[in-house]
Structure formats: structure tokens, C-alpha cells
């Protein structure tokens, strides 16, 4: 995959890791052009057999993705209404980032709101900056509601009561609170977030692709009844266990110190060593 057709996204590939930087001045509003590029990128990523981890970040330190283009929403409101059952292409894009067999990470260093927050919620992980990252769902005050999957994703992330506070209150949610409520994985110092996200992304990208993809797919079934989810987990476990990759990686784990007191006391570092080429 070339990833060379974008004007508002700067896309770079490093092995199995793909990083895109949003650069849509002045504040990264999701215009139709930016939406189309984000959607096109989701399709290209989904089809890329060699990509395993995707990181989205912003060139603007103050804005990750401001929100969807309000002027465009006004134009839509002044046009004839389409059938209620029409496919929502924004929903489709968000679902694609969530369900693709790649790990998706949003590195949110500034403000994110409206449709930008909805897209971020569809990613597997979100990291923010202490004292800098701010989330805002500003739809209700302007007479609408979060229509890019926000009313469905937000309660699943933070719970019903907090989702109602965020959506109906339309107040800023700071990074520290967002981390506490589960919207952010972590809120980090400004000088630490890039190194943290990059290291995590590279670490995951170094692991066996089949195991990474199977683990994400199994986690996706956690909303199912427990028995059904466990059945799928067992099937996926079997699908990776009986592979040459699993056999060699498990043996390497033992050879490098697994099952020893010294090795198990540093199992996170040991796991990274297992993933490195022998």
C-alpha cells in the first residue's frame, strides 16, 4: 500500500506500523474533504495485509479534530431529508476503524470534539496530555445530537450517567477526568506522550500478527453473552496455538528465561525479547 493519495493526511509507514498526521488548518475541522480522506484511509488500511498497528495524531498541538463541519450540517439541514434507513457513511467509517484487524491508536494532544470525538471513540486506544487534551460534545446546544455514533459509543465507554452529563451538559472534559472515567487509556505529560505511544505501537507491531489479530477479534466479542464469547475465544485460541509461529515463540520464551524466577520477575521485558528476531 502506497498511502500517497492524501492531501490533508501525512501518512508514514514503518514496517507493520502506519502513522497518519492530520494537517487541515486552521483547526482540523472535519470538512467533507477531510472526512473523505479519513474514510478512504480506513478502507486502504483495512485492505493492507502487512499493516498491524495504526496511529492517528495531529500536526496542530491545540486541535486533534475539532468537530464535523457545522456549515456543511446547515447545508444538509436546508436540503430535502433523505430516507431514515439510508446508510450512514460516518458510522461505517467509525465501525471500520474499530473492527479492522489492525490495532488503532488515537494520540490526542489537543482539543477533540463532536465527530472527532466520535471517531476517536471507535479506536482501540486513546491517549491524551495532562492539562492539554479536552473532549467536548457540542451538538445538543446547536440543536442536534451526536450523530456519528457518539450516543452509542460514549455510554459503552464511560457509563450511561456520565455519557448523559458529557452529551447534554456539553462542557469540557479534561484529560485527568477522561482518564478516570475510561475515555482515555492514559493522560500523560506533554513531553512523554509521543514516546509512550510510539513505543507501545512499535511493541505491538513486533508481536506475531496472527496472535495480535486473533486477540483483538476475541476482545471484540466481549459484548456477547459470556458463554458465546468464551466459545469464540476457544476457537481463536486453537487457531493460533497449532501454528509454527506459536510453537517457535513459546520455545523461545522458555529458552530466554521463561519459567525461571529471574525471567518471570521481568516478564514484560522478556516478552519484548521473545518478539525480537533471534
CB neighbours of residue 105 within 10 Å:
24
Quick check: 36 pLDDT over 80?
yes
Q: Residue 115 belongs to what H/E stretch?
A: helix 114-121
35 vs 57: CA distance, rounded Å: 15
**With pLDDT > 90 as the criterion, what percentage of the chain qualifies?**
95
Identify each DSSP E strand in 115-270 by its residue range.
125-129, 134-136, 173-174, 186-188
Torsion 134-155-184-37 (CA) sign? negative
Cβ neighbourhood burial of 155 (10 Å; 0-12, 13-18, 19+): middle
With residue 64 as reference, give the H or E element that holds it. Answer: strand 63-65
When pLDDT is cut at 50, 70 and 90, the band that residue 84 belongs to is confident
Identify the band that residue 140 occupies on the pLDDT scale cut at 50, 70 and 90: very high
Of the pLDDT bands very low, low, confident and very high (cuts 50, 70, 90), residue 5 is very high
Residue 185 above 80 pLDDT?
A: yes
Write the pLDDT tens digit of every residue in 41-67: 999 999 999 999 999 999 999 999 999
* Closest listed residue to residue 271, CA positions, set 246, 244, 253: 253
Q: 86: helix, coil or strand?
A: coil
Residue 81 has pLDDT above 90, yes or no: no
- The whole-angstrom distance between residue 217's C-alpha and the CA centroid of its chain comes to 14
Reported confidence tier of residue 259, pLDDT bands at 50, 70, 90? very high
Secondary structure class of 201 (helix, strand, coil): helix
Q: Which residue has the higher pLDDT, 74 or 86?
A: 74
Torsion of CA 138, 143, 149, 152, to 10 degrees: 90
pLDDT at residue 278 is higher than 80 = no
Cell of 140: 445538543
> What is the torsional sign of CA 202, 217, 41, 145?
negative
pLDDT reading at 77 higher than 80: yes
Q: How confident is the model at residue 28 (pLDDT cuts 50, 70, 90)?
A: very high
Look at residue 203 and tell me whether its pLDDT is greater than 90: yes
pLDDT of residue 1: 74
Instruction: Write down the pLDDT at residue 271.
Output: 96
Q: Does 86 score more than 90 pLDDT?
A: no
For 114, residues 6+ apart whose C-beta sits below 8 A from its C-beta are: 30, 66, 67, 68, 136, 137, 138, 139, 146, 148
CA atoms within 13 A on the CB side of 212: 23
User: What is residue 157's predicted lDDT score, i.e. its pLDDT?
Assistant: 97
Cα separation of 63 and 59, whole Å?
Answer: 8
> In this structure, are residues 8 and 33 in contact, taking their beta carbons and an 8 Å threshold?
yes
> What pLDDT, on a 0 to 100 scale, did the predictor assign at position 83?
72
CA distance 121 to 118: 5
Amino acid at each position: 500500500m502506497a498511502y500517497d493519495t492524501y492531501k490533508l493526511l501525512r501518512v508514514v509507514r514503518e514496517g507493520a506500523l502506519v502513522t497518519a498526521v492530520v494537517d487541515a488548518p486552521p483547526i482540523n475541522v472535519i470538512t467533507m474533504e477531510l472526512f473523505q480522506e479519513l474514510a478512504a484511509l480506513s478502507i486502504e488500511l483495512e485492505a493492507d495485509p502487512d499493516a498491524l498497528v495504526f496511529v492517528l495524531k495531529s500536526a496542530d498541538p491545540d486541535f486533534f479534530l475539532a468537530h464535523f463541519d457545522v456549515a456543511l450540517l446547515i447545508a444538509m439541514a436546508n436540503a430535502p431529508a433523505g430516507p431514515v434507513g439510508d446508510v450512514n457513511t460516518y458510522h461505517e467509517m467509525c465501525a471500520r476503524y474499530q473492527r479492522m484487524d489492525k490495532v488503532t491508536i488515537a494520540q490526542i494532544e489537543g482539543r477533540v470534539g463532536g465527530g472527532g470525538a466520535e471517531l476517536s471513540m471507535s479506536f482501540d486506544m486513546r491517549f491524551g496530555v495532562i492539562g492539554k487534551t479536552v473532549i467536548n460534545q457540542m451538538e445538543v446546544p446547536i440543536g442536534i445530537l451526536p450523530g456519528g455514533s457518539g450516543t452509542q459509543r460514549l455510554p459503552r465507554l464511560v457509563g450511561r450517567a456520565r455519557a448523559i452529563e458529557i452529551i447534554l451538559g456539553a462542557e469540557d472534559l479534561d484529560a485527568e477526568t477522561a482518564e478516570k472515567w475510561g475515555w482515555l487509556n492514559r493522560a500523560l505529560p506533554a513531553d512523554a506522550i509521543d514516546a509512550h505511544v510510539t513505543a507501545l505501537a512499535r511493541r505491538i507491531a513486533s508481536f506475531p500478527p496472527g496472535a495480535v489479530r486473533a486477540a483483538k477479534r476475541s476482545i471484540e466479542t466481549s459484548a456477547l453473552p459470556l458463554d458465546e464469547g468464551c466459545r469464540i475465544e476457544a476457537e481463536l485460541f486453537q487457531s493460533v496455538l497449532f501454528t509454527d509461529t506459536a510453537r517457535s515463540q513459546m520455545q523461545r520464551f522458555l529458552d530466554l528465561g521463561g519459567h525461571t524466577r529471574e525471567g518471570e520477575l521481568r516478564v514484560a521485558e522478556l516478552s519484548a525479547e521473545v518478539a525480537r528476531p533471534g
